[in-house]
């Protein structure tokens, strides 16, 4: 199924993106180890057991690792002293991702663990609504960051012009 392939790649991509965007050195190092280990073990499991037999376990592991890493990142950001607008915006994006992966856990349970209790159309509806909500939150965070960055840039230009006027 195409959705299995997409879900398989999703976990790997999210772990890679989290690794590349982190600025906290200890968490980034751990994220790198998690990403490399997960990728290696996933490919090894596929080579040994076949794709369609191992993909549910790989998808579940990817979702669980992503949620644990996101929780670690959020806790690290809450404990950091750097409270600038970029850090706050990143934190909102991480909250959006955590929400999305929390919903993914529910969808995973009803798609792979308890398929007889879940309804496929309901799972898709919940999935798409959660995507819309998390994307809206992440977009708001990015727009807020850009707006604050532009405001600081304008203030810096005003100060620079005032300094020029004083020296003339």
127-164 tens-digit pLDDT: 889 889 988 988 888 888 777 766 666 666 665 555 55
What count of other Cβ atoms lies within 10 Å of the Cβ of residue 32? 16
What count of other Cβ atoms lies within 10 Å of the Cβ of residue 54? 17
**pLDDT, average across residues 36-44:** 94
Summarize pLDDT for 77-89 with one digit per residue, the tens. Answer: 887 756 666 667 7
Identify the band that residue 29 occupies on the pLDDT scale cut at 50, 70 and 90: very high
Closest-CA residue to 76 (of 29, 37, 137): 29
Per-position b or e across 70-109, b if 16+ CB within 10 A of its CB: bebbbebbeeeeeeebeebbbbbbbbbbbbbbebbeebbe
Q: Higher confidence at residue 80 or residue 32?
A: 32
pLDDT value at residue 167: 55
**pLDDT, average across residues 26-47:** 93
Residue 117 pLDDT > 90 = no
Residue 35 pLDDT > 90 = yes
% of the chain at pLDDT higher than 70: 83
Out of 3-7, 63-67, 89-93, 122-126, the most confident range is 63-67
Identify the band that residue 106 occupies on the pLDDT scale cut at 50, 70 and 90: confident
Domain layout of the chain by residue ranges: 2-167
Residue 3 pLDDT > 70 = yes
């Amino acid at each position: 199924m195409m959705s299995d392939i997409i879900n398989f790649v999703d976990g790997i991509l999210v772990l890679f993106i989290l690794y590349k965007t982190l600025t906290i050195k200890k968490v980034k190092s751990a994220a790198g180890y998690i990403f490399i280990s997960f990728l290696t073990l996933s490919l090894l499991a596929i080579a040994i057991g076949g794709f369609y037999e191992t993909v549910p376990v790989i998808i579940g592991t990817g979702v669980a690792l992503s949620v644990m890493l996101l929780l670690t990142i959020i806790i690290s950001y809450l404990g950091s002293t750097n409270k600038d607008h970029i850090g706050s915006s990143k934190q909102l994006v991480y909250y959006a991702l955590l929400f999305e992966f929390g919903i993914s856990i529910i969808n995973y349970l009803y798609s792979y663990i308890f398929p007889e209790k879940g309804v496929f159309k309901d799972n898709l509806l919940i999935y798409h609504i959660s995507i819309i909500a998390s994307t809206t939150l992440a977009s708001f965070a990015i727009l807020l960051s850009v707006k604050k960055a532009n405001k600081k840039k304008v203030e810096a230009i005003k100060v620079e012009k005032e300094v020029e006027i004083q020296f003339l």
